[in-house]
Structure 1
Amino acid sequence: MLLPPLFPPLTVTDQMGRRVAVPYPPQRIVSLVPSQTELLFELGLGEKVVGVTKFCIHPAAARTKAVIIGGTKNFHFDRIDALKPDLILGNKEENYREGIEQLAEKHAVWMSDIATLEEALRMIRQVGMVAGAPARAEQLAATLQASFADLELPALPRSAAYFIWRKPYMVAAGGTFIDDLLGRAGFTNVFATQARYPEVTAAQLAAAAPDTILLSSEPYPFGEKHVAEFQAICPAAAVHIVDGELFSWYGSRLLHSATYFRTLQP
């Protein structure tokens, strides 16, 4: 049984510098971010999750136990209001500003803003604190930190292009969480001097001449049928399909990332 908050509201600062007053501990949580939904369940807070997006696929139970409130960028505000959440978790990149501002008029909305592993670990600790599981969050963050610290990088990092979309081609460039994890996986991003998720042409890819082309399984579902397409552009490159969740999900899915990155090293 969910109990009413035991203490006065907890006022915290989120990763966008916003001050948020949250009933503590919150008993009804809506998550607008798939990786943070999975994190809540990992922290033992699944019972408190009453609303999730249609993209919250981990764990599988999330979408059966909670109400689907739309996507990450098209919320059903009436469904969220009906859930009477104590806390809503959002993300600067995955959600949209106008929708978040509208939700914040009625509800406590805590926002993450993540471009590095360090910021992801900080988010895990902060979500654990604000949602009522600080000890478990601290333990998880410490485990993740240790797993990445144990990664041995190759003496000569391989240059890489990481594709997230097709028609048009789009890559993960500088200032992204993916770019940070590429470095930790032993790659240098050939498009790191560009910002965020730029469109690139086949000619630009050929000119960049990466050693490796990584085709992400999400958000565009690249598959083996696309390998020849990129191999034709860069005949000398190694082209691989990679698990996009392990490069871009910044919650507890990171538990699998360091081990996976070892399999990508020559």
Structure 2
Amino acid sequence: MKFIDQIGRCVNLNGIPKRIISLVPSQTELLFDLGLESHIVGITKFCVHPIHLKKTKAIVGGTKQINIGKIKSLNPDIILCNKEENTKDIVEACEQICNTHVSDIFNIDDSLELINQYGLLFNKKEEAQIIVKSIQKKAEDFKTFIQKKTTLKAAYFIWKNPWMVAGNNTFINCMLGLNHLINVYDTQNRYPEIELKNTAINKEVDVVLLSSEPFPFKNSHKKEVQAFYPNAHIVLADGEMFSWYGSRLTKAFVYFKKLRLNLEAFQAL
């Protein structure tokens, strides 16, 4: 069976893969929600949902550095990667071991496509469709909720030292747009480094989102950022809701509603 992944690579399968290694946390969670826990043999140290997998599955490294020897010893049928999360070298090394599927996610449609692809790959079509339909329903409900809400200018920080934000051509940027949040850094590509300066555009920013990952922003960072965005509401954002695709999207839109209500309460002050 020939299968085309999300970056156009042909994956040749002799049958349904039974031994799976996932090098992407959000995809590990998706595998579990598809009912494939017993087939997962290896995950990364960042695969924290569900948390018990870190005790029951082999840890093969992170998303940028992997233990090739350990991966080989697990005798996988397929390795699941992502173009953004994993490096080209990692993908090429995995290809030398077994079939390797690479996802590439920029928006909700890409996410739904991936879920359906896993449904086909692992003979979980019905389970995949249940997740897809749940996400579609919740997304439509959220669009109704958000359609008359005020559009706000936003900045989304992912790292400190150096300061880095989410720019254009990212899944995060797509999620900001769904929340009627205009990304003030969307003229820059991917995840640009920026310098915190007191500029005219900073004064126009309504909300600054400090993500919980990959840098674990805390309350202690709010004051530091507030000095450069004097009129903005500084919010600690759940990074998983903005950057994890797959089945995490079944929870994201409830979170987004609560976030909007929080922002409205601040705007009313």
Say yes or no: does 1:125 pair with 2:121.
Answer: no
What percentage of residue pairs aligned between the two structures are identical? Answer: 43
Aligned residue for 1:179?
A: 173
1:149-197, Cα deviation, whole Å (9 max, x unpaired): 1112244211100000111110001110000001112211111111000
Instruction: Give 1:143's aligned amino acid.
Output: S
Aligned residue for 1:42?
A: 33
Deviation, structure 1 residue 24 = 2.2
Aligned residue for 1:12?
A: 3
1:75-86 equivalences in 2 (<5 Å): 75-86=66-77
Q: Distance in 2 between matches of 1:67 and 1:240?
A: 35
Q: Distance in 2 between matches of 1:239 and 1:137?
A: 37
Deviation, structure 1 residue 41 = 0.4
- Give the TM-score normalised by the residue count of structure 2: 0.92
Q: Distance in 1 between matches of 2:72 and 2:160?
A: 37
Q: Distance in 1 between matches of 2:97 and 2:199?
A: 46
1:157 equivalent among 151, 156, 177: 151
**Please, what is the CA RMSD of the aligned residues?**
1.2
2:230 equivalent among 202, 219, 235: 235
Q: Distance in 1 between matches of 2:108 and 2:83?
A: 16
- The answer on whether the counterparts of 1:24 and 1:132 sit within 8 Å (CA) in structure 2 is no
1:103 equivalent among 94, 107, 120: 94
Change (3 A) 1:86 1:205: farther
Q: Distance in 2 between matches of 1:106 and 1:216?
A: 35
SS of the residue corresponding to residue 193 of structure 1 reads: coil
Aligned residue for 2:267?
A: none
- The answer on whether the counterparts of 1:55 and 1:71 sit within 8 Å (CA) in structure 2 is yes
SS of the residue corresponding to residue 185 of structure 2 reads: coil
SS of the residue corresponding to residue 66 of structure 2 reads: coil
Aligned residue for 1:245?
A: 240
Instruction: Give 1:190's aligned amino acid.
Output: V
Matched positions, count = 257
- The answer on whether the counterparts of 1:206 and 1:234 sit within 8 Å (CA) in structure 2 is no
Q: Distance in 2 between matches of 1:176 and 1:90?
A: 17
1:202-217 equivalences in 2 (<5 Å): 202-203=196-197, 207-208=201-202, 209-217=204-212
Aligned residue for 1:194?
A: 188
Question: Which runs of 5 or more structure 2 residues have no equivalent in the other structure?
Answer: 265-269
Aligned residue for 1:58?
A: 49
1:68-102, Cα deviation, whole Å (9 max, x unpaired): 00111111111111111111110000001012112
2:59 equivalent among 68, 73, 89: 68
Q: Distance in 2 between matches of 1:176 and 1:225?
A: 27
Deviation, structure 1 residue 210 = 1.1
Aligned residue for 1:93?
A: 84
Aligned residue for 1:3?
A: none
Question: Which runs of 5 or more structure 1 residues have no equivalent in the other structure?
Answer: 1-9
Instruction: Give 1:175's aligned amino acid.
Output: N
Aligned residue for 1:5?
A: none
SS of the residue corresponding to residue 155 of structure 2 reads: strand
Aligned residue for 1:259?
A: 254
- Give the TM-score normalised by the residue count of structure 1: 0.93
